[in-house]
A = this chain, B = another copy of it.
Amino acid sequence: MERHFDQELEDLKQELLRMAGLAEQGVAQALKALIQRDDALARQVTADDAVLDKLEMDVDDRVIKLLALRQPTAKDLRFITMAMKISGELERIGDQAVSIAKRALALSQEPSLKPLVDIPQMAEHAQGMIRDALDAFVYAKPDLARAVVTRDARVDALNDQLHRELTSFMIEDPRTITRALNLMTVARKLERVADHATNIAEEVVYLYEARDIRHQNQ
C-alpha cells in the first residue's frame, strides 16, 4: 500500500505539472496571437482552455479520493490539500490567457498603437514565475518559491509604467483610447498571471517551511 500511495502522489504531481505547462503555453500562445495579429491562434487559446478546466476538476476529484481512501497525515496531507489550491490558481491563469486572446482579437481589427515591448517582457516574467513556482512545489524547493514571490514586484512595476504611458497616449489623442484600454487590459491580465504564480509560491513556502508568508507585506 505504501508504494501505491507514493505512485498516487507522483501522479498528482505529474497532473499539476501538466496543468502548469498548459497554463504557461496558454499565456505564450495568447501573446503570440497578440503580437503576430493571428486571429486563428487567439481563438485556439480559448478552445484549448477547456483542457485546463477539465484537469482542475480531475485534480479536485483525485484529492478528495486520496483524502478519503489514504487518510494521509502531516506533510502528505498538507501537500495534497495544497495541490487543490494550486490547481485552482493554474486554472485561473488559463482564464487570463483567454482574456488576453480576446483582447488580441479586438486589437487586430485596428492599426498597431505602439511597438509591443513591455507586454512581451511582462509575459516572459510571468511565464517564468509559473514554471518556477511549480518546480518549487513538485521538487520541494522553498528557496525557489521565495524567489518567485520577490519577482512579482517587477511585473507590477512594468504594469504601472505601461499604464502611465498608455494614459498619456489617450490624453494626447482620443483616437487611441479603445486600443489603449485593450492594451491596459492585456497588461493587467499578465499582472494577474504573476499574482497567481505568487500565490502558488507562497503556498509552497508554507508547505515546506510550515511558515505562512501570505500577507506579510501589508
Binding site for B on A (CB under 8 A): 49-50, 53-54, 56-57, 63-64, 67-68, 71, 73-74, 77-78, 81, 84-85, 88, 167, 170-171, 174, 177-178, 181, 212, 214-215, 218
Contact = CB atoms under 8 A, between A and B. Distances in A.
Chain A residues touching B, majority SS: helix
B88 A64 contact: no
B71 A218 contact: no
A77 B64 contact: yes
Given A81-B64, A84-B81, A174-B171, A214 B53 contact: yes
11 contacts: A53-B215, A64-B78, A68-B73, A68-B74, A68-B77, A71-B71, A88-B88, A167-B178, A167-B181, A171-B177, A177-B177
A212 to B, nearest CB: 5
A92 to B, nearest CB: 10
Given A84-B81, A212-B57, A174 B170 contact: yes
